[in-house]
């Protein structure tokens, strides 16, 4: 690592980062210690204002775009060169934590401040982005800011989205932009030299393995199925078992068969039945209908596609005397991050003597939408017991700052000092 870069790494402050995360967490703070900060809500506006005020204090340039993403820019020597981008999101789950998303934005900002304090000159500009509406709790779908940026999701559709109270996103966005005026408006997408997103892992792998840094190789593919089993209600005392069309029994058989298919010694497969509803739900009535969901994820494109195609077949094959309807709800192919970015992150972590492993992201992130546009990657840090999307979400100041140190080393390398 260049000496100048090492100085920037050393300028990263555990305390400053932690304090910023805690200050940000006050907007939408819940009594249980979590955060409820829906996209384009008054809490989100306050969060944006805070970021903007910090950026202005340090003399960084500010811009936004048609979907309200905020960019904080530290110029490079090549004024018009495509920036190196880092960031995440400031909105939260309804019962979310302090770190999911906010860490990526404020960690990026800490990196920018450290680079500034070290007086490091980069060829390329470095920018911190706060993507709009990643969680999708209020306006669906989530990861909207990055998806609109990349063009994957049309801006017009995004603007016409309504929340549960019938408020249109375009109105909520106007209010947000009005309350955070004075930012330069930019066309999207603009060229990016490279993208790197820091995030808490949201799983237990780093903590269990005593690693500080996860070098993220990609985001696993995600497929949701909604499976409906139609049987026939019958009296539990009088209907012989051989005559029954027992929707619950069939559902149990299907799930058992799917589970068998999902057997995996490497523990890479993610298979979850999270919703299961049984009707009419009386102890002495054979269920006439069961609805359940399958959430299947895998990082390997081939295995992912094969298994996704197999699931409906297994459901039908285990239907017995019932009718089984299978509907695919969500389908996102696995994303592989850039190997050069992975090498850079790994080398940075090793240079800083931070224990690290390559790992797949279990959850989706804004980086998924940026990966097709430029060399992209992610840095994971541990979160307590892997708990996330939960008010109890927690992480240590040291781990969070170590993640930013790796970020600084990687960003400065990408931005060519």
* Residues lying near its own copies in the complex (CB under 8 A): 201-205, 208, 220, 222, 224, 234-243, 246, 248-249, 252-253, 255-256, 259, 262, 264, 267, 269-278, 281-287, 290, 293, 295, 297, 329, 361-364, 386, 388-389
Least distance to its own copies, CB of residue 294, Å: 8
Least distance to its own copies, CB of residue 222, Å: 7
In the complex with its own copies, the residue whose CB is nearer, 182 or 240, is 240
Least distance to its own copies, CB of residue 79, Å: 40
In the complex with its own copies, the residue whose CB is nearer, 36 or 69, is 36
In the complex with its own copies, the residue whose CB is nearer, 85 or 359, is 359
In the complex with its own copies, the residue whose CB is nearer, 166 or 283, is 283
Least distance to its own copies, CB of residue 4, Å: 36
In the complex with its own copies, the residue whose CB is nearer, 68 or 142, is 142
In the complex with its own copies, the residue whose CB is nearer, 157 or 259, is 259
Least distance to its own copies, CB of residue 267, Å: 5
Token pair in block for residue 79: 């004024």
In the complex with its own copies, the residue whose CB is nearer, 68 or 101, is 101
Least distance to its own copies, CB of residue 276, Å: 4
Least distance to its own copies, CB of residue 287, Å: 6
């Amino acid at each position: 690592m260049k000496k100048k870069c090492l100085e920037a790494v050393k300028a990263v402050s555990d305390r400053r980062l932690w304090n910023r995360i805690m200050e940000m967490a006050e907007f939408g703070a819940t009594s249980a210690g979590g955060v409820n900060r829906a996209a384009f809500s008054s809490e989100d506006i306050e969060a944006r204002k805070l970021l903007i005020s910090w950026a202005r204090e340090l003399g960084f340039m500010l811009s936004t775009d048609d979907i309200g993403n905020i960019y904080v820019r530290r110029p490079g020597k090549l004024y018009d060169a495509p920036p190196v981008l880092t960031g995440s999101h400031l909105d939260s789950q309804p019962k979310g934590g302090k770190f999911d998303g906010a860490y990526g934005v404020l960690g990026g900002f800490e990196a920018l401040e450290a680079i500034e304090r070290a007086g490091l000159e980069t060829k390329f500009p470095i920018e911190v982005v706060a993507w709009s509406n990643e969680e999708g709790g209020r306006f669906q779908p989530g990861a909207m800011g990055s998806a609109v940026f990349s063009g994957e999701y049309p801006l017009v559709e995004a603007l016409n989205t309504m929340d549960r109270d019938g408020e249109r996103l375009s109105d909520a966005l106007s209010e947000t932009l009005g309350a955070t005026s004075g930012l330069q408006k930019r066309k999207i997408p603009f060229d990016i030299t490279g993208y790197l997103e820091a995030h808490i892992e949201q799983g237990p792998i780093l903590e269990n393995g005593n690693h500080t840094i996860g070098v993220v190789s990609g985001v696993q593919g995600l497929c949701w199925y909604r499976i409906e089993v139609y049987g026939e209600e019958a009296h539990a005392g009088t209907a012989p078992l051989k005559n029954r069309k027992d929707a619950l029994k069939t559902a149990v058989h299907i799930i058992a068969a799917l589970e068998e298919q999902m057997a995996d010694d490497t523990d890479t497969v993610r298979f979850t039945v999270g919703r299961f509803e049984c009707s009419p739900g009386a102890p002495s009535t054979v269920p006439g209908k069961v609805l359940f969901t399958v959430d299947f994820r895998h990082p390997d494109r081939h295995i992912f596609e094969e298994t996704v195609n197999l699931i409906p077949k297994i459901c039908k094959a285990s239907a017995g005397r019932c009718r089984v309807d299978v509907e695919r709800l969500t389908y996102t192919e696995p994303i592989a991050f850039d190997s050069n970015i992975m090498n850079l992150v790994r080398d940075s972590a090793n240079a800083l003597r931070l224990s690290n492993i390559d790992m797949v992201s279990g959850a989706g992130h804004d980086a998924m939408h940026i990966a097709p546009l430029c060399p992209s990657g992610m840095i994971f840090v541990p979160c307590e017991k892997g708990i996330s999307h939960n008010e109890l979400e927690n992480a240590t100041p040291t781990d969070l700052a170590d993640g930013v140190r790796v970020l600084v080393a990687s960003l400065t390398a990408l931005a060519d000092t």
